[in-house]
Amino acid sequence: MTEELNEPQLMEPGGKTRLYVTGDLGKGMTVSLDEGQSHYLLHVLRSQAGNLLTLFNGRDGEWQARITQAAKRGVAVTCLQQTQPQAGTPDIWLAFAPVKKTPSDYLVQKASELGVSVLQPVFTRRTVVGRINQERMRANAVEAAEQSGRLSVPEIREGVTFARLLATWPAERRLLFCDEGGDAKTMTQAARESRGGPTAILTGPEGGFDPAERAALRALPFVMPVSLGPRILRADTAALAALAIWQAVAGDF
Ligand code: SAM
């Protein structure tokens, strides 16, 4: 829920407004919303005590709740009934070389909608972005989780260098390296082969991976080079195309 990212909506009587909270959820439990959420409900949605909304926290499933306090000092809501039990999302990570601000916002939002569980920014030799705004990324991920009906928010990790990513990679997790250089399996084939096991997708920056990075990746036992077809895709397009194919073949589409 972030105003600039959110289309102002009227408070739906059925509680369609859906918010991610960090507190525990359970029948009769009351949750105090944070300042941003309170402001959004009171001043953007113009909601009042008695209105219904939907909450989730990534642990206790999804709950219908009623606003029991709508005051200047903040909004409190009380859980009425569970509307969905907690369910896991497929164990798919996206490691990506960050691209300029807008595409990164877009990439985080769309990858969250596509069910990614971890977003890992990677600084490769040709990455032009010097730093990432983790708070902004997290706000985008929360907003996308609220809108898409997910029951969890993807984990946004701190950016790491390419060398550190490979040095600390969990060997049991298959890394599907999107390599536009050719000589690679199709993403469909790779997704089929990685089905059932922990998997990650890796995409490069606008300028691609440099030869030394490609050689380093191809030398690793847990890495599988994959092709996303005959055309060169923009970095954010590649990440989302790879995720969608993986979800369709090995995930929960
Ligand atoms: N090296 C590319 C070029 O010569 O224009 C630019 C890299 S592309 C814009 C950004 C990233 O998207 C690549 O590093 C790769 O991870 C992924 N990618 C783009 N097209 C791809 C394809 N057809 N197959 C596999 N990966 C692709």
| Contact (Cβ atoms closer than 8 angstroms) between residue 159 and residue 121 | yes
Give pLDDT, residue 15: 61
Distance of CA 198 from the midpoint of ligand 1 (Å): 23
Mean pLDDT, rounded, for 95-114: 91
Let me know whether 25 and 73 are in one domain: yes
Query: Is 180 close to ligand 1, i.e. is its CB under 6 Å away?
Result: yes
Domain match, 166 and 207 both: yes
> In this structure, are 153 and 242 located in the same domain?
yes
Same domain, 31 and 71: yes
Enter the tokens of residue 50.
Answer: 């008695």
> Which residue range is the domain that position 219 belongs to?
92-250
CA dihedral sign of residues 22, 28, 34, 38: positive
Is residue 40 within 6 Å of ligand 1 at its C-beta?
no
Which residue, 39, 63, 84, sits at the end of a domain?
84
Specify whether 28 is located in the same domain as 134. Answer: no
Instruction: Determine the atom of ligand 1 nearest the C-alpha atom of 203.
Output: 16
Q: 223 and 172, same structural domain?
A: yes
What integer is the mean pLDDT of 203-223? 96
Residues 52 and 131 in one domain: no
Average pLDDT on 196-210 reads 95
Round the average pLDDT of the chain to a whole number and report it: 92
Same domain, 124 and 42: no
* Residue 6, pLDDT score: 44
CATH number of the domain enclosing 69: 2.40.240.20
For position 8, what pLDDT does the model report? 39
Question: What is the CB neighbour count within 10 angstroms for residue 144?
Answer: 21
Residue range 71-92: mean pLDDT, rounded: 93
Domain stop point among 84, 117, 133: 84
Residues in CB range of 4: below 8 A, 6 or more apart: none
134 and 175 inside one domain: yes
The C-alpha atoms of residue 146 and residue 148 are separated, in whole angstroms, by: 6
Q: Whose CA is nearest to atom 19 of ligand 1?
A: 233
Question: Would you place residue 5 in the very low, low, confident or very high pLDDT band (cuts 50, 70, 90)?
Answer: very low
Task: Assess whether pLDDT exceeds 60 at residue 2.
Answer: no
**CB of 117 closer than 8 Å to CB of 93:** yes
The verdict on 223 and 117 lying in the same domain is yes
Sorted by sequence, the CB contacts under 8 Å of residue 41 that are 6+ apart come out as: 11, 17, 33, 47, 53, 67, 70, 75
- Please write the tens of the pLDDT for every residue from 25-80: 999 999 999 999 999 999 999 999 999 999 999 999 999 999 999 888 899 999 99
Q: Quote the ligand 1 centre to 41 CA distance (angstroms).
A: 42
Q: Higher pLDDT residue, 16 or 209?
A: 209
**165 in the same domain as 64:** no
Considering 84, 105, 139, which residue would you say is the last residue of a domain? 84
Torsion of the alpha carbons at 139, 142, 145 and 147, rounded to the nearest 10:
-70
Residues whose CB is less than 8 angstroms from the CB of residue 224 and which lie 6 or more positions away in sequence, other chains included: 174, 175, 176, 177, 185, 190, 193, 194
The tokens 């050719």 sit on which residue? 182
The answer to whether the CB of 202 falls within 8 A of the CB of 122 is: yes
Q: Which residues pair with 176 in a beta bridge?
A: 201, 224
Residues 75 and 138 in one domain: no
Residues 118-171 have pLDDT tens digits of 999 999 999 998 889 999 999 999 999 999 999 999 999 999 999 999 999 999
- Percent of the chain exceeding pLDDT 90 equals 84
Domain count, the chain: 2
State whether the beta carbon of 179 lies less than 6 angstroms from ligand 1: yes
Distance 153 CA to ligand 1 centre (A): 27
Domain of residue 115, CATH code: 3.40.1280.10
Q: Tell me the mean pLDDT in the region 90-116.
A: 93
